[in-house]
Structure 1
């Protein structure tokens, strides 16, 4: 447009000079571009705008022109145009005003509507004129294309360099680039090594970021982090451990010797024009180069840590969740047998129960299943305690040795922290001594810093004395075996926290699959390794779990009267506080479907036939019941009888049945009891009593139409006198 076409109304308004550079580095180093943009004020004055109506807007220095949401001065410019306060807008070039066609055409629309001119180094333009507007539109389009081309060129070059691991990325603490070769190497500070290795070892042992955090806080250890000083590089600083720091160590693949690029991407909200950093999935990473450099752990350990962190997420559809303080011991392990979904823990009057109720809460569907956590936990923990026996001595000794090595590493870490504080105190002293004492403004500040370092050193020395305690002597296999034998007492005696119990259960259990069937909860326990056990748990429990376990165990081989006596001796009472009797034990067993080895009801007896009544044994052997009682008194059959008029219970198994039912084959070493009686002139009962006393094996064998007793092995002179 012709400069003489400037209207007086435009000269009466403001001439806005918009100054912008894209990055802080350009603002700092490319000062000539700034000077050229500020000189546009002189051009505005030459065109007729007085200096008092020349407004310079430069608060957008260092901000990109790709969008307008983050540029307050550009928004101010648009507002001034809409308020008819601007006559002309000056920019060094179109790209200074906007590199986004949406923002650029919006500004052109407003400028055309309110008769605002636009000027750059090439000339003046009237957006209301078709030809000028066409030229401005082309310039804006080329400006946006140029931005895309520059970004694409930079991204392709960066990605190509990253594909062979040469692109320098921001490194986490513990790594640096070698000054000579430019290779990625571990930092030479061994204190940083030991601190990072301590975190990885702690997580491998404890399995939870929050538990690792508490452990490090209790030990009084600090963790390193990188402090970036603009223009001065970076340095390592030490601070108390935090959840974010530990999680960052565990999830960063650089610590596993992996060079990766493209782990994150930037998403921009089109409404608020804000940016958000979003983590990409592992499959979407652009570069992943294992074994690129020396790390602090292997790739397999890193993968195991990531799987453990994912498993610790307390979501019903994903992981088990980390062990916490709640009383439900199987939280995270319980799965519904019907819908195959993980069951959550709910509480009713402070009593936990397992259920899957998501469909019920969302859609009003019936609850798939639920069961008392105390009932299920009581049986499962008893099952686990039966498995953990003296065979775990070697594992317990290995854990004890691992704990001692852990204490040695903690001591080393504290010693390194003490050395670091000594160095910092000495450095602060040197700085104070080098300054002129007369210059108190500086000397006083350095003296304060020196005193702070000395105070930190003294506090560390006091803490070192507190932690310097001798370790208990290492346990012997015999001591460890005794400790394992007391595990049940410690478990029920309240000496183990809920988190410790959950860790023990997760070491041996993979899942606990529950299904409710009337008044019974059917549990399928899946062990680590795939083995399975099946349990039936009553839904409603009327006594303490300790009494339930006691009755469950004693019912296998003791009558109800003996069980009642044992419960009373242990100080256990019913829910109403009454002493146990045989009738109360029997009622409890019947109501809770606890099988017994000593009950006349076949439906309530243990399925392994450990004890049979004398009548049942007589029926199986084809003899009269009095004959069975006679053999019991001779010792030929073992059993128990609470009194002369009480039921006689005979111990029974497959080996006893095979010896006495007449089906055993004749062995050449066997000697007939009839022959011994003829040779010794003794009664058969005397021969049988002698054989029982000498621990000989007695067989009842079918010979012809009758049964005869044989002894194996036979020794001469069966009895004296």
Structure 2
């Protein structure tokens, strides 16, 4: 510490002594606070120097809120912000610090403090003397000291960064070993010594290669109650293996980390000042592309996967993201071709639009979305899905048996792998129970205070082991280790019935979409104008393509490509005197199709089109009908019973009378009624309405509903 003579100056005036003297204390890191306590004591000792300069002890304020914080920025330094605020309120006459670097190592923050001190007449003091920022010479010297403090920080940081880079280029810069790895005292990276923890890491990579999505892997682990083995990095239990629930972040870091491919990578992320958030010093980190990594050393340590598989995993994760240039993951929507369709007119990717449940269409709306233009083209989704499914099943049919055998082998391998993990869990639980019992037996019997707790721990481990055995028995009952002959036979039979397997309720939409994506790379669709004709080009995986024309449903008659020919042909058939049914059969036989969802014409559709074209249908002659004994036309029987025709028709609808309808036009109703039946109907007709209401209220069956047997078997 310099002598007080260096502090003697005529710059201290009475108005300075009337205000506070602030001692600012700061250390850059918490490690410096713990290991370099002498520097901290020197800074706190400035309080006595302030008293020697004339300030009373209660007028000396110590600000030490920034201990352990860097001076490179004022954003996270509440102590420095408080100091600037006190100066701005004209409460401070003198600021004391061991050196200028304690106050700030940023020119922006330093010159801001100088401006405020000069404005309010506040002095600044370090071990070299007292300075007045309002005087030019002192201001120049303070600016130079601030610049040197900032340059010193830059030089120190540059040395540290270059040292880390040089060490990383040799592959010697240490980092926390990821899950599934350990580190020897010499620093060498090795595979996790625990066999179960290693097998689970291998399982994650195999399942991602099989399932293709991170969420599917997570669901698989959760469904089978598989936990991840993690080594504790710090604390009293450092180095111990703990078992934790799998989560999305852990799996994503595991799949993206090149360390699992045996590679040593440095510089996988860098800090972007534009994305840094105020008050949060660890924000602004940006992922660096692999081609820009400063250091990449392959075959640095033992690997779980190959480098090619790691790159494939990264590409798969990127492809799973929902972007315009990727397919994205398969979802559970009804559409089967989302992400595969390309507009044959403009080349843009077509999207799925859902209107109501199970009603969707494929639309090219890039022009409408980006530029406010018109929709390029659209078509109904189910018709295109049905055609593509037929082509996919036809392509898979030759390899169905081979695929079924491979599926059986894969299923057995998966069950064997799960059984192996269960055996490891049982072995670990048995070891924990045995160790707890060993601890209890080694204890002195007289030490009851400890014996009771160890006995409880032993009982808990034994109970956990028993529960795990029960769960394993249930697992073996639900999923035997080996497939039975009946299961294998079912799998072989499914190979001969691919359409049935495709349409089964157990097959999800996501699985159907995955199968289609395995064999089809893209589908180009072109709608011919506004008609029902659609040209489809299937681009198969491997380079082959298939071109075909399908028919989509349209809303209007005029949208049909052969509408003119249809109208002309219909007019010819009407002029030929054919009946509506004959016209319908003729048009269906000649290959004409109606609009909307129908595949063939019906009589109602033909009559609708004839009304649209003002064509008069030929009048059909009634089919002669000879009534049998005791049979009546419905209007004649109504006149005989002296009742409205509609009332008798209602009785027919309710089934209270024996009736039949003519099979051909005009399809009149014929009722059977002999003399006894006529008397029964008249009796019911003359029954008081109040009695009918009472029967309904009591829930009784009306007498008229009890019909006699008709001698005519056709009724």
Contact 1:19 1:38 survives alignment (8 Å): yes
SS at match of 2:233: strand
- The structural deviation recorded for 1:54 is 1.8
- The structural deviation recorded for 1:494 is 3.1
- The structural deviation recorded for 1:215 is 1.2
Q: Residue 322 of structure 1 corresponds to which residue in structure 2?
A: 329
2:208 to 203, 209, 215: 203
Q: Residue 535 of structure 2 corresponds to which residue in structure 1?
A: 522
- The structural deviation recorded for 1:520 is 2.2
Q: How does 1:156-235 map to 2 (within 5 A)?
A: 156-180=162-186, 182-230=187-235, 233-235=238-240
Q: Residue 290 of structure 1 corresponds to which residue in structure 2?
A: 298
2:507 is the alignment partner of 1:496: yes
SS at match of 2:524: strand
SS at match of 2:421: helix
- The structural deviation recorded for 1:455 is 5.9
Identify which range, 431-440 or 334-343, moves more after superposition: 431-440
1:347 to 344, 350, 354: 354
Q: Residue 534 of structure 1 corresponds to which residue in structure 2?
A: 547
Deviations 1:577-624 (A, max 9, x none): x9xx96696488634899x9xxxxxxxxxxxxxxxxxxxxxxxxxxxx
Q: Residue 16 of structure 1 corresponds to which residue in structure 2?
A: 22
User: TM-score, length-normalised on structure 1?
Assistant: 0.71
1:372 to 380, 385, 388: 380
Q: How far apart in 2 are the matches of 1:441 and 1:58? A: 47
Cα distance, 1:450–1:369 mapped onto 2, change above 3 Å? farther
Identify which range, 298-307 or 410-419, moves more after superposition: 410-419
Cα distance, 1:586–1:449 mapped onto 2, change above 3 Å? farther
Cα distance, 1:65–1:482 mapped onto 2, change above 3 Å? same
2:314 to 290, 299, 306: 306
Q: How far apart in 2 are the matches of 1:221 and 1:209? A: 15
Contact 2:401 2:496 survives alignment (8 Å): no
Deviations 1:20-55 (A, max 9, x none): 111122222222221221111122222222221222
- The structural deviation recorded for 1:424 is 4.9
Cα distance, 1:370–1:498 mapped onto 2, change above 3 Å? same
SS at match of 2:242: strand
- The structural deviation recorded for 1:83 is 0.6
Q: How far apart in 1 are the matches of 2:59 and 2:442? A: 55
Cα distance, 1:222–1:231 mapped onto 2, change above 3 Å? closer
Q: How does 1:429-444 map to 2 (within 5 A)?
A: none
Contact 2:554 2:596 survives alignment (8 Å): no
Q: How does 1:466-481 map to 2 (within 5 A)?
A: 466-469=474-477, 470=480, 471-473=482-484, 480-481=491-492
1:512 to 512, 523, 540: 523
Q: How does 1:607-646 map to 2 (within 5 A)?
A: none
Cα distance, 1:230–1:381 mapped onto 2, change above 3 Å? same
Q: How does 1:399-478 map to 2 (within 5 A)?
A: 399-424=407-432, 456-469=464-477, 470=480, 471-473=482-484
- The structural deviation recorded for 1:394 is 2.2
Cα distance, 1:412–1:587 mapped onto 2, change above 3 Å? farther
Cα distance, 1:541–1:109 mapped onto 2, change above 3 Å? same
Q: How far apart in 1 are the matches of 2:92 and 2:489? A: 93
Q: Residue 244 of structure 1 corresponds to which residue in structure 2?
A: 249
Contact 2:494 2:501 survives alignment (8 Å): no
- The structural deviation recorded for 1:450 is 7.0
Q: How far apart in 2 are the matches of 1:11 and 1:109? A: 21
Q: How does 1:645-656 map to 2 (within 5 A)?
A: none
Q: How far apart in 2 are the matches of 1:583 and 1:84? A: 103
Cα distance, 1:219–1:40 mapped onto 2, change above 3 Å? same
- The structural deviation recorded for 1:255 is 0.5
Deviations 1:685-713 (A, max 9, x none): xxxxxxxxxxxxxxxxxxxxxxxxxxxxx
Q: How far apart in 2 are the matches of 1:48 and 1:226? A: 58
Q: How far apart in 1 are the matches of 2:499 and 2:413? A: 27
SS at match of 2:178: coil
Cα distance, 1:352–1:68 mapped onto 2, change above 3 Å? same
Contact 1:520 1:536 survives alignment (8 Å): yes
Contact 2:532 2:554 survives alignment (8 Å): no
Q: How far apart in 1 are the matches of 2:179 and 2:471? A: 26
Q: Residue 122 of structure 2 corresponds to which residue in structure 1?
A: 116
Identify which range, 350-359 or 380-389, moves more after superposition: 350-359
Q: How far apart in 2 are the matches of 1:513 and 1:457? A: 59
Equivalent residues, number = 556
Q: Residue 78 of structure 1 corresponds to which residue in structure 2?
A: 84
Contact 1:204 1:305 survives alignment (8 Å): yes
Cα distance, 1:103–1:342 mapped onto 2, change above 3 Å? same
Q: Residue 47 of structure 1 corresponds to which residue in structure 2?
A: 53
Deviations 1:277-327 (A, max 9, x none): 11111222111111111111000111111111111112122x211112111
Identify which range, 530-539 or 67-76, moves more after superposition: 530-539
Contact 2:426 2:469 survives alignment (8 Å): yes
- The structural deviation recorded for 1:339 is 2.8
User: TM-score, length-normalised on structure 2?
Assistant: 0.72
2:593 to 578, 584, 590: 590
Cα distance, 1:147–1:440 mapped onto 2, change above 3 Å? farther
Q: How far apart in 1 are the matches of 2:110 and 2:449? A: 53
Contact 1:173 1:225 survives alignment (8 Å): yes
SS at match of 2:272: strand
Q: How far apart in 2 are the matches of 1:429 and 1:73? A: 56
Cα distance, 1:144–1:447 mapped onto 2, change above 3 Å? farther
Q: How far apart in 1 are the matches of 2:459 and 2:594? A: 74
Contact 1:323 1:499 survives alignment (8 Å): yes
Q: List gaps (5 residues or longer) in structure 2.
A: 1-6, 556-580, 600-715
Cα distance, 1:112–1:442 mapped onto 2, change above 3 Å? farther
1:387 to 380, 388, 395: 395
Q: List gaps (5 residues or longer) in structure 1.
A: 543-577, 597-721
Q: How far apart in 2 are the matches of 1:454 and 1:15? A: 68
Identify which range, 431-440 or 95-104, moves more after superposition: 431-440
SS at match of 1:382: helix
Q: How far apart in 2 are the matches of 1:52 and 1:200? A: 66
Q: How does 1:567-586 map to 2 (within 5 A)?
A: 586=589
Q: Residue 31 of structure 1 corresponds to which residue in structure 2?
A: 37
Q: How far apart in 2 are the matches of 1:341 and 1:328? A: 18
SS at match of 1:367: coil
Q: How far apart in 2 are the matches of 1:292 and 1:314? A: 34
- The structural deviation recorded for 1:341 is 2.7
Contact 2:267 2:295 survives alignment (8 Å): yes
Q: How far apart in 2 are the matches of 1:306 and 1:370? A: 34
Q: How far apart in 1 are the matches of 2:521 and 2:248? A: 27
- The structural deviation recorded for 1:384 is 0.9
Q: How far apart in 2 are the matches of 1:507 and 1:62? A: 56
